[in-house]
A = this chain, B = another copy of it.
Amino acid sequence: MSPHRDRLRGLEQRVGVLLEALPYIREFAGDTIVIKYGGAAMVAPELKASFARDVALLKLVGMNPVVVHGGGPDISRYSERLGLEVRFVEGLRVTDAATMELAKMVLVGKVNKEIVAQLNVAGVRAVGLAGEDGGLIRATHAEHAADLGFVGRVESVDPHVLERLGDFVPVVASVGVDDEGQSYNINADTVAGSLAGALGARKVIFLTDVEGIRRDAGDPRSIVSECRLVELEDMVSSGAVSGGMLPKLAAVRDALAHGVGAAHVVDGRVAHSALMEVFTEDGVGTKITA
């Protein structure tokens, strides 16, 4: 076969892939897609770069991605360097005033700006925001038996500042603020769910360090590809779903209750998993609908 033919065949395959994306591009054009970014995807350099390119592609083909992130291991690392006690109660970081100040420094001044810079390099303009900015996230003390300090929950979301930003991609740090200006550390899954609801998002995607939700916790082959929320609740009752998945489940419930079309739990350890979930029929994780 001639090299020209060979080259054409290669091009044709690539074009074929583009065209397979057509129905997804059409379906989600103009839709808001909230992505909770975290875990391994926020640590490994090549995963960080591939995530930025994924978000850029979503934006450029006409969707409106919104990135929500927490602070990851950086907060603990800096806490230790500064001699602050690192303590968790039921997976929640006990957050005294000094830790809160530090958490904000890490979340907003380090992690958030790294994501913004990476998105800029990938070719879309991003703007980083915390709950203070434009009064985006009003928070209050999360209710808990133990005294967790400034661990908060979302009281309300004012999406006005996000609407103003138009063509910029918003990157939101999981920090909220109360009427007196006091900051709170909030679970990033919760923030993602609340934002998705307030923005009338089409999808909310959670990048995790698991392959998806398992029907049988012990069986890696039991990944659920798609299910209704009610089935998931059953899996919680039966104990199949537990641990770190529980706050995610609350966020899923919250988003779906506010009209978000679907929630996805995908494997952030796989490069481009968010893109795969948007652009393919059965995706790479678990899709949950109301």
Contact = CB atoms under 8 A, between A and B. Distances in A.
Interface stretch (A146-154, A199-207, A249-257, A268-276): A268-276
A168 B177 contact: no
Number of copies: 6
Interface in A96-119: 101, 104-110, 112-114, 116-118
A168 B120 contact: no
Given A53-B22, A161-B168, A105 B109 contact: yes
Chain A contact-residue range equals 35 or more
Give me the 10 closest cross-chain CB pairs, A-B, nearest first: A109-B109, A105-B109, A117-B181, A105-B105, A108-B109, A17-B17, A15-B272, A127-B133, A116-B132, A11-B276
Interface of A: 4, 8, 11-23, 25-26, 29, 53-54, 56-57, 60-62, 81-82, 101, 104-110, 112-114, 116-118, 120-123, 125-130, 132-135, 161, 164-166, 168, 175, 177, 179-181, 183, 211, 270-272, 275-276, 279-280, 284
